[in-house]
Amino acid sequence: MAKELSSLQKERLNYQPKLPGVLANGVKNLSMKQGEPTGAVADEADIKALFKNSFGMPIVTFEKGSNDVSSKQRNVGVILSGGQAPGGHNVIAGLYDALKEANRENKLYGFLGGPSGIIDGEYIEFTDEYIDAHRNTGGFDIIGSGRTKLETEEQFKKTWDNCKKLGISAVVIIGGDDSNTNAATLGEYFMANNAGIQVIGCPKTIDGDLKNDYIEVSFGFDTATKTYSELISNIQRDVRSAKKYWHFIKLMGRSATHVGLECALQTQPNITLISEEVEQKKMSLAQIVDYMAGIIAKRAEMGKNFGVALIPEGVIEFIPEMKAMIANLNDTLAAAKDFDNLSQQEKIDFVESKLDSASAAVFKSLPRLIQNQLLMDRDPHGNVQVSKIETEKLLIEMIKVKLNEMKKNGQYNGKFSDQAHFFGYEGRCAFPTNFDADYCYSLGYNAFALIQFGLSGYLSSIRNLTAPASEWLAGGIPLTMMMNMERRHGKMKPVIQKALVDLNGPVFKKLEANREQWALNDDYVFVGAIQYFGPSSVCDTTTKTLALEKECGKKCECACK
Ligand code: FBP
């Protein structure tokens, strides 16, 4: 039986994504301009020493022109890496279209299940029909994704062998900061060994933390934040109708709070925690609880025993005492032998005996549920899997205790009834918005342009994104430019630095200026579902974050520039 398609899917298959004006005339009508040599965001000497061949390359931009490099026959491989983000299929479609336009004999291979596919030689060759069936759809199911870290000599060797077998001269890695760190190390390895294989990255992550002057946003952020905002605003309407619950909504975003901040600006909830602010103000867990309980009590005085609070997924790692404890825990677990064979109680006893006294005290103070979640496996990059830590429930439990205390002291006379939610996976595979569909297609198409000009160790860069697509700028930036040294698995490693929320930037300032008002008044905004067809103001506008950063960049000197 033929696969059943929804009406929207049928229509979306026919959507023609827009390209930046400079790319719209085709890859053959392009020339490349090189800028100044680049450095690294921090720890430059270490990065330079580790990336002897790929450090310091210039930023490049494309201009209309002509070239004689497009038509050379090429086989290219592509990997989807890390968490799903809406638009991944379009990156591959853009890459495929550019590659076939350059030379019909070119081939695109998709490695299956993430980086492990290239190591194990699991792949498919893309065809017109297969690509056409995935245009403008969400998900990464076109070839699957995975989180295997590409870092050992053995993995690089296998990757090289598999590329040789398929005659692949360029690999495109579509991923976030960790995956593009893989791209940088693989690119350096190929250069050092004269393998003749280029590596190009594409900036993906719903978290929005892979960004700088040249990467204005990672793809998927637009669609994911609009999806979550729709859900939040539906809950806000429910809250205003029933007037009986406090909804605590944890929002995805492993580390930075860009997702939470964008959703807050779109929906105007009563409470929004920002991890970066928690860290800057050195707020303890108890202080966060006091802050939230304070708002709950004030609203109760107004007769409002309801509200909506947004909790960033990664906040636990930004609370100083927790951060220190988690770092200590990560090092302890990295050094522990046979930890997995212990019973849960033995694990807890072991950890409590090995942590330093301050960290042990923090760990012991947590409910058993959270202790267990903190001991779960790290991801392949050594990160705690914060999506599995139920911070929203931890806060609810602690707030209940606090409100009871306040009740005894006559500081609170309300009724607290809670609902906990976690929005993350709901938004990662949504149909990409028009913005993400266009942006992703452009990133993929542009990745081929970087390949045809012989570049390696570069990230595909499409800029000027608040303007119409015809005015977008295209080019590439060296991956090493975004790197610094960080502690992973107990050792210092070169990694792409995450872009956290800038507390002096216009996006946070907007929240700061309004949050007291939003806490007590119910200024909820009801955003509704993503629209794909209709007026451009409804269908094509991107995020408030991008708009504010752009507007501010024109007139001020803050870090958003
Ligand atoms: P990427 O950085 O790989 O894009 O993944 C982001 C993310 O969606 C985080 O927001 C979340 O913490 C994590 O992935 C969840 O990972 P998993 O899909 O492995 O459960």
Determine the pLDDT at residue 560.
Answer: 43
| Any atom of ligand 1 within 6 Å of the Cβ of 77 | no
Residue 393 token pair: 């429930």
Euclidean distance between CA atoms 543 and 526, whole angstroms: 15
Residue 208 CA to ligand 1 centre (angstroms): 11
Q: Check if 432 has its Cβ closer than 6 Å to any atom of ligand 1.
A: no
Q: Whose CA is nearest to atom 17 of ligand 1?
A: 83
Tell the residue nearest (CA) to atom 5 of ligand 1: 83
205 Cα: distance to centroid of ligand 1 (angstroms)? 8
Instruction: Give the model's pLDDT for residue 378.
Output: 77
Protein residue with its CA nearest to atom 11 in ligand 1: 254
Query: 110: helix, coil or strand?
Result: strand
Q: Whose CA is nearest to atom 20 of ligand 1?
A: 387
* Segments of 68-121 assigned E as strands: 75-80, 107-111
Nearest CA to ligand 1 atom 18: 83
Residue with CA closest to ligand 1 atom 9: 254
Contact 450, 200 (CB under 8 A): yes
Pocket flag, ligand 1, residue 222 (CB < 6 Å): no
Give residue 553's pLDDT.
72
* Structural domains present in the chain: 19-220+432-496 (3.40.50.450), 222-313+390-427 (3.40.50.460)
What rounded mean pLDDT belongs to the chain? Answer: 94
CA of 254, closest atom in ligand 1: 12
Residue nearest to atom 10 of ligand 1 (CA): 253
Q: Judge if the beta carbon of residue 386 lies within 6 A of ligand 1.
A: yes
Q: What DSSP string runs through 300-362?
A: HHTT---EEEEEETTGGGGSHHHHHHHHHHHHHHHH-SSGGGS-HHHHHHHHHHHS-HHHHHH
Residue nearest to ligand 1 atom 1, measured at CA = 83
Ligand 1 site, residue 206, Cβ cutoff 6 A: yes
Q: Is the CB of 22 under 6 A from ligand 1?
A: no
205 is written with which tokens? 């992550």
Q: Report the C-alpha gap between 309 and 416 in whole angstroms.
A: 13
Per-residue pLDDT of 158-202, as tens digits, reads 999 999 999 999 999 999 999 999 999 999 999 999 999 999 999
Q: Which of 254, 383, 391, 426 to mutate to test the pocket of ligand 1 (most atoms within 8 A of CB)?
A: 254
Q: Residue 549 burial (CB < 10 Å; 0-12/13-18/19+)?
A: buried
Instruction: Decide: 540 and 435 in contact? Cβ < 8 Å.
Output: yes
All residue ranges of the chain with pLDDT < 70 are 1-2, 380-382, 554-561
> Residue 250: CB within 6 Å of ligand 1?
no
Could you give the residue numbers annotated as active site?
207
Per-residue model confidence (pLDDT) at position 368:
87
Give me ligand 1 centre to Cα 370, in Å: 19
pTM above 0.85, yes or no: yes
E-strand ranges in 451-559 read: 458-463, 473-478, 483-488, 491-496
Q: Which atom, in ligand 1's list, is nearest to the CA of 206?
A: 4
Per-residue confidence (pLDDT) for residue 559, from 0 to 100: 46
259-260-265-270 Cα dihedral, nearest 10 degrees: 160
- Residue 207 Cβ inside 6 Å of ligand 1? The answer reads yes
| Spatial contact of 271 and 519, defined as CB atoms under 8 Å apart | yes
CA-wise closest residue to 168 among 149, 146, 154, 186: 186
Three-state SS for 498?
A: coil
Q: Ligand 1: which atom is nearest the Cα of residue 252?
A: 10
Polymer length of the chain: 561
Beta-strand pair 307-312/123-125: unpaired
> Does the CB atom of residue 83 touch ligand 1 within 6 A?
yes
Q: Which of 206, 222, 259, 311 to mutate to test the pocket of ligand 1 (most atoms within 8 A of CB)?
A: 206
Q: What is the predicted pLDDT for the residue at 388?
A: 86
pLDDT of residue 561: 42
**252 ligand 1 Cβ < 6 A:** yes
Ligand 1 binding pocket includes 144 (Cβ within 6 Å): no
The CA 385 to ligand 1 mean position distance, Å, reads: 8
Burial 75-95 (b: 16+ CB within 10 A, else e): bbbbbbbbbbbbbbbbbbbbb
- The answer to whether 91 touches 174, Cβ cutoff 8 Å, is yes
Atom of ligand 1 nearest to the CA of 314: 12
